[in-house]
A = this chain, B = another copy of it.
Amino acid sequence: MARLNHHYRKLTAGYLFPEIERRMKAFQKDNPGTQIHRLGIGNTTEPLTPGVARGLEEGVKRLAAAETYTGYGDEQGLTELREALSRYYESLGAKIDPGEIFISDGAKPDAGNIQSIFSADSVIAFQDPAYPVYVDSNVIAGRSGSYDGERDNYSGFLYMPCREESGFIPAPPAQKADLIYLCSPNNPTGAVAGHRQLREFIDYARRHKAVIIFDAAYAEFITDPGLPRTIFEIEGARECAIEINSFSKFAGFTGVRLGWSVVPKTLVVEGGEPAEVHRCWLRRQTTFFNGASNIAQRGGLAVLSPEGLRECRELIGYYMENSRIIKRGLQELGLTVYGGENAPYLWLKTPGGLTSWEFFDRLLQEAHVVGTPGSGFGPSGEGYFRLSAFGHRADIEKAMESIANRLIL
């Protein structure tokens, strides 16, 4: 008698985005003809740059010709692309061998799957608030107890609260964790961890023989040269960290699907042999995955060319100008806004002590603008609200105008 994996039933079922949709539709029904402005999109909106599109087209052309057709590719991904990424890391001041890089179909799959190579009884620590996949993948793997509706958390997990007074960068947990998920630049808070803060986590990880899963999917949005763009800039990270990254927001590949992970061969865990974590991830990827699309990989190569980097950084500049418009606009209204300077996410403190959902309703009803309630990302997100810099300029401007004219503060 087949039965389902009962851990799925523990999930709080990702009510955040469906609930947003539900309230939007209800508003639209009550207010036909009213234009709703979206400031909560976590998805790229601008077309691919010309050089990157040419790289992808070249990828298709290679498959259509007998001389250049290829089927299954290299186990860890196109060697040329891994070499280009190795050079990219070098430009950031980190030494990563192409053999330590695994090309994937995006940061989300890697962030979800990485836990599966670790022991079922691992103790997991998350930033709170956090991108939901870190939590959900570990719930499904059976590493948590049940969900506590009152405290809005799962028993058995360690939550590291991200607080205003410490710039939304948490301290390492007081208890012993085995796996620690960190995302910097952060989704949803837009906060970026500095060298000293990352060093604290690395010290913690080395002391407790823990592994840090570092999600750097928004690294290209960092403009401040003093902030680390990869955890491997920090000494000691090669002994305790795995990095996950993506072309999604970097190059507008949210639909193209391309990312990568770095598992250093120098990362050794308790009871493991040298390079065994690396071999184990290779085994997981070659068993459950068959490589990213070779077309997307050719596009990735184009992104990392000098022309591609220039174009993509210009595109990021466009989104960051959106971010400045939003931040300035909200600040002019007297609102407190964090993030949005080295990250495409802005973290608004709800005014007048409103809960995240109360502010959602006010913003929708009064200004016809939709964002994302911070409480949807974890208990410490309560009282905050995520806005995103993705969107066409004209739409962003209209949304800000509507907020300025209509939101009652």
| Chain A interfacial positions (CB closer than 8 Å to B) | 1-6, 8, 11, 13-14, 43-48, 50, 53, 56-57, 60-61, 63-66, 69-73, 105-106, 108-109, 112-113, 116-120, 122, 133, 136-137, 140, 142, 176, 178-179, 208-211, 252, 254-257, 269-272, 276-277, 280, 283-284, 286-296
**Neighbour of A256 across the interface among B63, B122, B276, B287, CB < 8 A:** B63
Report the nearest B residue to A70, measured CB to CB.
B255
Q: Within 8 Å CB of A45, what residues of B?
A: 69, 71
Binding site of A, secondary structure by majority: helix, strand, loop or mixed? loop
> Bound complex: CA of A53 vs CA of B109, how far in Å?
27
- Residues in B with CB closer than 8 Å to A65 are 47
Which residues of chain B have C-beta atoms less than 8 A from A142's C-beta?
Answer: 120
Contact of A3 (CB < 8 Å), options: B178, B257, B290:
B178
Inter-chain CA distance A149–B65, complex, in Å, is: 45
Q: Which 7 A-B pairs have the closest CB atoms?
A: A71-B254, A53-B64, A255-B294, A112-B288, A1-B270, A3-B119, A43-B71
How many Å lie between the Cα of A109 and that of B106 in the bound state?
14
Assuming the contacts A2-B210, A210-B1, A294-B255, asked whether A63 and B48 have C-beta atoms less than 8 A apart, the reply is yes
The closest CB in chain B to the CB of A132 belongs to B287
Q: How far is the CB of A376 from chain B (nearest CB, A)?
A: 15
Contact B4 A276 (CB under 8 A): yes
B50 and A56 within 8 A (CB): no
Q: Give the Cβ gap from A125 to chain B, nearest Cβ, in Å.
A: 11
- CB of A56 within 8 A of CB of B47, answer no
Q: Are A293 and B290 in contact (CB under 8 A)?
A: no
Residue of B nearest to A52 (CB): B64
- Identify the closest chain B residue to A177 (Cβ): B2
- Whether B57 contacts A209 by the Cβ 8 Å rule is no
Query: What B residues does A293 contact at CB under 8 A?
Result: 105, 255-257, 292-293, 295-296
Of all chain B residues, the one with the shortest Cβ separation from A67 is: B47
Is A46 in contact with B64, judged by CB distance below 8 angstroms? Answer: no
Give A182 to B95 CA distance when docked, in angstroms: 46
Chain B residues in 8 Å Cβ range of A46: 66, 69
Q: How far is the CA of A256 from the CA of B44 in the complex (A)?
A: 23
